[in-house]
Amino acid sequence: MGPHFNQRYPGLADLRGRDLLSSADLGAEQTLALLELAADFKSGAQRLDLSGKALGLIFTKASTRTRVSFAVAMGRLGGQVLDLNPSVTQVGRGEPVADTARVLSRYVDALAIRTFEQQELVEYAHWASIPVINALTDLEHPCQALADVLTIRESFGSLKGLTLAYVGDGNNMAHSLMLCGALLGMNVRVACPEGFAPDPAVLTQAQALAGRAATVSVLHQPLAAVRGAEVLYTDVWASMGQEQEQQRRLQAFAGFCVDEALLAEADPRAIVLHCLPAHRGEEISAGVIEGSASRVFDQAENRLHVQQALLAALLADPATPCL
Ligand code: CP
Ligand code: NVA
């Protein structure tokens, strides 16, 4: 008989039953412990049994990676996934969040929710008696940020002191990277056109999390942001829900493409990340996304491993035997 889950991963002890609404909901030690468990799942060094547990997916926006990786992660743990797309439940017909969240809490053990307003997620979390996971909102994408830092750690061995340059829109992805990066002692530089900066409240929060250990800055020159950086990151210029702004944004973001010229200014060991889906020739060149610095498919794979770790941390009984 191996150790109990809480003995093997003491850093995860406080996560059981909790919500993950923001990257800032995790402490540095918890984030690192999640990465450790994710790496153990990835290498096959860990197995856990969550049979009998059920995860509900409430996705108001499209998703390939998040939906599939959550479903497979839960399957690997022996649990069950229910697709609660609003178009097939009463949610789409206006049943209040307060009722939906309380009812679903009687059936399933966790909810992963993808929607527009962060406030809607907060409302689900308020009414639900089970963990609620942010599977992307307009404000944040914390599950993606976890996969990103796992991918960075795989390349560089550690995270503290590395510089991540995010080039593009100051969006949900930028927000979660600023918070998660700051928490882990990474320097985060966001380069965006004027008018597309991250939320100032998130910037202040990230700078507070960074403390004296790291810096979080917003600038408007991509070259200055990427100079010497170990990680280059970009995301679409028009996020889900902003489709009608696509043309205006194409013009505003001219010069913010992560291409070969920009990559040449980064650290020679630099890796390139993109949460996907990508628009080649817009925020990233085809050559860079397909080139030797790109880690985008490892990054996409890591969604599966970190979410398996997250589900285990939120749902596993502390006495669950593990390897
Ligand atoms: N990166 C990401 O969240 O992808 P999906 O929109 O396909 O889930
Ligand atoms: N910022 C993008 C991320 C997609 C995974 C969006 O919200 O559409």
Ligand at minimal distance from the CA of 134 is 1
Hey, how many other C-beta atoms are within 10 angstroms of the C-beta on 218?
A: 19
160 & 228 share domain: yes
Model confidence at 127: pLDDT above 90: yes
| 191 pLDDT above the threshold of 90 | yes
Please list, residue by residue across 97-128, b when 16 or more beta carbons sit within 10 angstroms of its beta carbon and e when fewer do: beebbeebbeebbbbbbbbeebebbbbbbebb
How many domains does the structure of the chain reveal? 2
13 vs 300: CA distance, rounded Å: 27
Residues 30 and 132 in one domain: yes
Nearest to 299 by CA among 20, 34, 65: 65
Is there a single domain that holds both residue 71 and residue 200?
no
**Domain shared by 121 and 168, yes or no:** no
Residue 208 lies in a domain: yes
Question: pLDDT, tens digit, for every residue of 79-104?
Answer: 999 999 999 999 999 999 999 999 99
Mean pLDDT of 145-155: 99
- What local confidence, expressed as pLDDT, does residue 124 receive? 98
Is residue 323, in this structure, part of any structural domain at all?
no
pLDDT tens-digit readout, 219-248: 999 999 999 999 999 999 999 999 999 999
Residue 116 shares a structural domain with residue 161: no
Q: Is 141 a catalytic residue?
A: yes
Mark whether 153 and 245 lie in a shared domain. yes
Question: Residue 26 — pLDDT band, cuts 50, 70, 90?
Answer: very high
| Residue 231, number of CB atoms within 10 A of its CB | 31
Q: Against a cut of 0.75, is the pTM above it?
A: yes
What local confidence, expressed as pLDDT, does residue 2 receive? 84
**Of the ligands numbered here, which is closest to the C-alpha atom of 274?**
1
Residue 230 and residue 189 share a domain: yes
C-beta neighbour count of 286 within 10 angstroms: 11
HSE (side-chain half, CA atoms, 13 Å) at 18: 17
Question: Do the domain assignments include residue 27?
Answer: yes
CATH of the domain at 109: 3.40.50.1370
296 plus 307 within the same structural domain = no
- Ligand 2 atom at shortest distance from the alpha carbon of 276: 5
Distance 64 CA to ligand 1 centre (A): 5
Q: Which domain holds residue 197?
A: 144-300
* Ligand 2 atom closest to residue 66's alpha carbon, by position in its atom list: 5
Active site residue 169: no
Same structural domain, 250 and 160: yes
Which residue out of 8, 65, 67, 114 is catalytically annotated? Answer: 114
Q: What pLDDT, in 10s, does the model give residues 251-290?
A: 999 999 999 999 999 999 999 999 999 999 999 999 999 9
pLDDT confidence band for 307 (50 / 70 / 90): very high
- Are 216 and 135 in the same domain? no
State whether 101 and 32 are in the same domain: yes
Catalytic-residue membership of 275 = yes
Task: Give yes or no: residues 211 and 280 share one domain.
Answer: yes
Widest distance between CA atoms in the chain: 61
pLDDT score recorded for residue 190: 98
> 42-74: per-residue pLDDT in tens?
999 999 999 999 999 999 999 999 999 999 999
| Closest Cα to atom 6 of ligand 1 | 63
